[in-house]
């Protein structure tokens, strides 16, 4: 039997508990359009799209060290900015105990925990609408190093819907 190792997408040198801004992109499996449709350069959210929006907006309720920046829900993917203010969110406290037993530290850092919790909650609620809804494994992240990068990413997110016809994630 062939064994394929899955390539890690996390930046190995980055500590994902570090305060700062993170650009996140999450796609649906096979880029299926679950979240809505682009009409007249606006997203019309489906019921699952509304669930995604609600779960994203509720992240700071569950992680008090997090603020959310700009975000954009597209038909089959999502872009958002997460601002980590300080470390030690309540959702990590029980997981920290497991880490002490020798598990992989990366899965207990803030960004992976936040995104994992978001994807899990959104999936659970979305399955009440369509039990075939699935995320792509993992997600893309980028630590935002400076104000120019933050502004460029914010502009990209804000105008993402305007560029849907040429979007790399558009399968139409």
What are the tens digits of pLDDT across the range 3-35? 333 334 444 445 555 689 999 999 999 999 999
Chain centroid offset of residue 102 CA:
26
What is the length of the chain? 172
48's CB contacts (< 8 A; 6+ apart) are: 34, 35, 126, 129, 130, 133
On whether residue 172 sits in a domain, the answer given is: no
On whether residue 137 sits in a domain, the answer given is: yes
On whether residue 144 sits in a domain, the answer given is: yes
On whether residue 11 sits in a domain, the answer given is: no
On whether residue 128 sits in a domain, the answer given is: yes
In this structure, what are the phi and psi dihedrals at residue 164, rounded to the nearest 5 degrees?
-55, -40
Half-sphere exposure of 1 toward its Cβ, with a 13 Å CA cutoff? 2
On whether residue 27 sits in a domain, the answer given is: yes
pTM over 0.85: no
Q: What span, in angstroms and rounded, lies between the C-alpha atoms of 70 and 79?
A: 8
CATH code of residue 33: 3.30.70.1290
Average pLDDT, the chain: 82
Domain count, the chain: 1
Can you give the residue range of the structural domain that contains 147? 21-165
What are the tens digits of pLDDT across the range 40-59? 999 999 999 999 999 999 99
On whether residue 13 sits in a domain, the answer given is: no
The answer to whether 72 and 80 have CB atoms below 8 angstroms apart is yes
The sheet carrying 20-27 orders its strands as 66-73, 77-84, 20-27, 140-144
On whether residue 115 sits in a domain, the answer given is: yes
DSSP state of 135: B
């Amino acid at each position: 039997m062939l064994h394929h190792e899955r390539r890690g997408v996390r930046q190995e040198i980055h500590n994902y508990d570090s305060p700062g801004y993170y650009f996140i992109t999450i796609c649906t499996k096979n880029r299926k359009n679950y979240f809505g449709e682009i009409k007249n350069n606006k997203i019309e959210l489906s019921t699952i799209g509304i669930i995604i929006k609600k779960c994203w907006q509720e992240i700071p309720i569950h992680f008090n060290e997090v603020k959310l920046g700009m975000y954009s829900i597209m038909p089959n993917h999502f872009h958002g900015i997460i601002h980590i203010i300080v470390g030690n969110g309540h959702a990590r406290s029980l997981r920290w105990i497991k880490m002490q037993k020798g598990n992989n530290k990366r899965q207990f850092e803030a960004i992976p925990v936040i995104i994992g919790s978001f994807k899990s909650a959104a999936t659970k609620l979305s399955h009440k609408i369509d039990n075939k809804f699935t995320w792509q494994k993992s997600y893309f992240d980028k630590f935002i190093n400076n104000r120019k990068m933050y502004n460029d990413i914010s502009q990209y997110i804000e105008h993402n819907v305007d560029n849907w016809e040429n979007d790399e994630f558009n399968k139409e």
